[in-house]
A = this chain, B = another copy of it.
Amino acid sequence: MAERIIKYTEALKEATDQMMEIDPKVFVVGLGVSYKNGADGTTAGLKAKYPDRILDVPVSEAGLTSMAVGAAVTGLHPIVHHGRVEFALLASDGMFTQAAKWNYMFGGGNPVPIVIRINVGRQWGNGPQHTQALYSLFGGVPGLKVVIPSSPRMAKGLLVSALKENNPVIILEPRWLFNIKEDVPTEIFSEPLDKARVIREGKDITVVAYGDGLHSVREALELIGDAVSVELIDLVSINPVDHDTVARSVAKTGRLLTVDTTNEAFDIGSEIIAHVARNKSLKLKDAPIGLACPNVPVPTSTVLTEEYYPTKVTIANAILSALGKPSIDKKLSFEELHLAPTTTLK
């Protein structure tokens, strides 16, 4: 088959479009989803094709999200879109207290098939109130399934799965990845919602990452070359976390590095490392390592964010130092530090 290279945002749009074609229960609500380039392009052009199913809405996150939950409870399959985690937080009740608990609290038989897409994290100039991730909140509420697509292919496959799932699925989409490109199958396909993926096998160290951080690890591995044999795991799901896949890898490599792109307190790395540490059958060669953002809000001035997120260099050096290898000395350009990558994945 010929390659078909598309962007992360296009992959999301394609999944939405293809699933809307086959499932009349699917509709989309969110601020600006009806625009020509709606929701950062992830709903581009769909309003024209599905005029009654792509719904722009008033600025009422709580009301519109819980409305969608109510529609899901009664048989539709809504996609809700929120442009920032902070906007979605206004809909906390609908997500964490209603959708997550509905089937359980009514004793089963009450599914909530809803997909809530939320853009998270890093982008220049967003500042302290537009860049949180709050992963541990999303990971810690039972009843939700929560995934973080790390590439265009994952974005499409996970959104398709989410739309075939009979439970509330939250998709956290790192803005940092929106322009990443990849060969993505044109047909409908699914990626499992609750399985981590070993995306590169190795024997010296296990690196667990997700979303934008995973992309930085990929870049770091290019810097490192063959110096270290790294097993790279895309965590994919943070609710539930696939601890088994991590354990199997760590059992083999004996070393663990986690890479987070959120504040270090209560980050995903802690959850992973704690599970490995509690696992009596795993013996590590060294203490596990966690990279994360400092425990401060995200400032706006680029000079202040320069050292905020783990970069390919800090990640590469964490891996090299874990294996006792000399570190790399490389200064990143302004573009590398602050502009979202436009890489084509292979």
Decide: A265 and B278 in contact? CB cutoff 8 A. Answer: no
Instruction: From B97, B105, B129, give the contact of A101 (CB < 8 A).
Output: B129
Residues of B within 8 Å of A127, CB to CB, are 105
Interface: A168 (CB within 8 A) = no
- The stretch that binds B, out of A208-216, A217-225, A227-235, A282-290, is A282-290
Residues of B within 8 Å of A92, CB to CB, are 89-90, 92
Given contacts A140-B266, A287-B280, contact A101 B128 (CB under 8 A): yes
Interface: A86 (CB within 8 A) = yes
Minimum distance in angstroms from A162 CB to a CB of chain B: 19
Residues of B within 8 Å of A339, CB to CB, are none
Shortest Cβ distance from A92 into B: residue:
B89
Minimum distance in angstroms from A94 CB to a CB of chain B: 10
Shortest Cβ distance from A85 into B: residue:
B97
Instruction: From B262, B274, B279, give the contact of A270 (CB < 8 A).
Output: B274
Size of the chain A interface, CB-CB below 8 angstroms: 53
Instruction: From B90, B100, B287, give the contact of A278 (CB < 8 A).
Output: B287
Interface: A263 (CB within 8 A) = yes
Residues of B within 8 Å of A265, CB to CB, are 139-140, 142, 239-241, 271
**Complex-state Cα separation, A143 to B289, whole angstroms:** 25
- Interface residues, chain A, with chain B CB atoms under 8 Å away: 62, 86, 89-90, 92-93, 96-97, 100-101, 104-105, 127-129, 132, 134, 136-137, 139-143, 239-241, 262-263, 265-267, 269-280, 286-290, 295-297, 299
List, sorted by A's number, 27 A–B pairs whose CB atoms are closer than 8 Å: A62-B90, A86-B93, A96-B134, A104-B296, A105-B297, A132-B141, A134-B140, A134-B141, A136-B137, A136-B266, A137-B137, A137-B140, A140-B262, A140-B263, A140-B265, A141-B263, A142-B296, A142-B297, A240-B265, A240-B295, A270-B274, A273-B277, A273-B278, A274-B277, A276-B277, A277-B277, A278-B288
